[in-house]
Structure 1
Amino acid sequence: MASAINKGPTRPMTMIQALRSAMDIMLERDSNVVVFGQDVGYFGGVFRCTEGLQAKYGKSRVFDTPISEGGIVGAAVGMGAYGLRPVVEIQFADYFYPASDQIVSEAARLRYRSVGEFTAPLTIRMPCGGGIYGGQTHSQSPEALFTHVSGLRTVMPSNPYDAKGLLIASIENDDPVIFLEPKRLYNGPFDGHHDRPIVPWSKHPLGEVPEGYYTVPLESASVFRKGAALTVLTYGTMVFVSEAAAQETGIDAEIIDLRSIWPLDLDAIVKSVKKTGRCVVVHEATRTSGFGAELIALVQEHCFYHLETPIERVTGWDTPYPHAQEWAYFPGPGRVGAAFKRAMED
């Protein structure tokens, strides 16, 4: 993982605590930072990511909004254009659709349309993915939709350290950032073998997070697990599922945690695939037109003559998100491990 800036004392943090710490630090460092969204003020957000921030910084810096995603993002675009750095929360990623025109037509295009006179330095936080039996209205993984839009950055951390550093980097960035937060990773590590996190972050090395300011560079992937047999390209919760699959199969997989989904760290991908000669792509979102398709195309373009076997892809289903069958919908270590084995066939 990237080195921290101004490293100080560390302490165990969940991803929620790490995200809250990032916003706390930026609210204190920069008077132009404001945090707002549905229930983020007094209530502290549906997942309590902003708990205590309004009491500390006041209602003019951390405040609640009406239930209007288009209004939330539209206001943030205007604020950003005139010098503020809004950090807004869309309560669930599934709810971004009413704000899609403001995100695509306004935030993403403002720099280009104004010939650089205005920017939209806003960060849009969205809990994404499954894990709460929320079904198709609370569990979607829409990252591929954002990567198609020029002018947007799309980020998804897999652990508390990266979550804090990436969020600070996003807030400081002058471009609009879609910051996706996997709900299954909010309150503890997901070891990939089980339906729920079973080990407190305090007992997991990824949970040690610097208390002070630091950044993790955007556009920078991480080698989550070194290996020589095959390359796994993944992000978010699927990082831990892929790790579990490697453990269960005994295959020496190198797991690349993209972290920044777009723009992409293509150099890290190409370096790993050229080394291993085999590639498996894993994501929770639906298969058709998922971001895995873009990853496969890029690997084919840049690593074709190094590939020993066809690229494998493991994803969610091409169906509406199922309530009752949520854990069958998720790619698990069984499905991912089977793809590893196929990739190892000569």
Structure 2
Amino acid sequence: MTNQQLVDYIKNAIKQGYKVGDLEIYLIEKGWSPAAVKEAVALATKKRFPSAIIGIFILLAGVGFSVFFLLPKGTVMPASVSIGLPSQVLPGSTLDTVLSIQTTGRAKDNLMLTYSITPADKFGIVSRWDDLISPPYPATYTKSIDVPSTAASQQYTLDIRYMYKDQSSTLTKVFTVGQSQTPTPLAPTTPTIETPGVVSTSCPASCDDMNSCTYDYCDEQTRYLCSYDPVSNCCGNSVCETTENESSCPQDCRGASEEAKISRVDELEDIIWRAKNLTAENPQSGFEYCRNQENPVNKDECYLAMADATNETITCENIIDSDKKDLCWTKINNCEQVVNGMVKRSCELLNWRGSAGSAIETRESADTTPA
């Protein structure tokens, strides 16, 4: 049966600024059973409006953007977007963005939206989300974005990238993550928490929670209440621990391995995309971005992406991996620098074909020119 006194106490403590986790630990230490505490917390917080959610519904009063996606001939789809963000948010809070989409003509293809949060003073994605909108598009599109609970106190950039067919554009907004305030726990005064009810003098007949990854016990130290301690390195607890791998414990590690692969692919795609865009706007910015990559593999891929946007030899000179360096020299048609013999011959053959094709076109143009 629920103890209403305990529920009221938890409600008052939450209003005073105490965290639910701290209250649970305190109450269990005072002798309340974990089950009773969890039930009381659930009732005490049932009707509370989530304070972490920060409503951002400022349309037309924020920063206005217009993004145009080119559709088939004679049809243009502008997406008018307004984003309102508070000057400061807290780790673990939620940002609500509202996009106002206006269309003219007939949209036939899907609209891709990519949301990402990055530190404002350096590169590297903190969080990323992808959404796909199928036509007909809604008049407004709302996206709730979770700020990581581990986010450091500093400035961050929210990027919203629009992609329609082969057209794309990025919207940017800077916001600050503040430092979470943790109130100093104080001894509760109302009501006075004592050991509830009648103190048990014997353990239950069984404390088995049907979980092989917990150690179940009960004794005088636990005040004759069942206690459960996690068993370290236990296969089946949904955590891929250091002593486990995909072969020894597939149920814990298979998903983690796949997530790591997907995360790595997303990271490289983002680096390549940023390198190309920065280089197109300002080659020096692209070079600085690549030079600041700490991972050697990421750095090589970044310089290689720069070669698609510029013919500067400095991009290839800074690549460490010999095969990727040869590929870079080939991209900018500098076959003399290629080390691998086979790659060098391929590079020279491609250049010869290009030169021969240009010569043929020039000669044909001259032959057809009236005297």
TM-score range, shorter chain: under 0.3
Larger Rg: 2
TM-score by length of structure 2 reads 0.24
Instruction: Identify the structure with bigger relative contact order (alpha carbons < 8 Å, sequence gap 6+).
Output: 1
TM-score by length of structure 1 reads 0.25
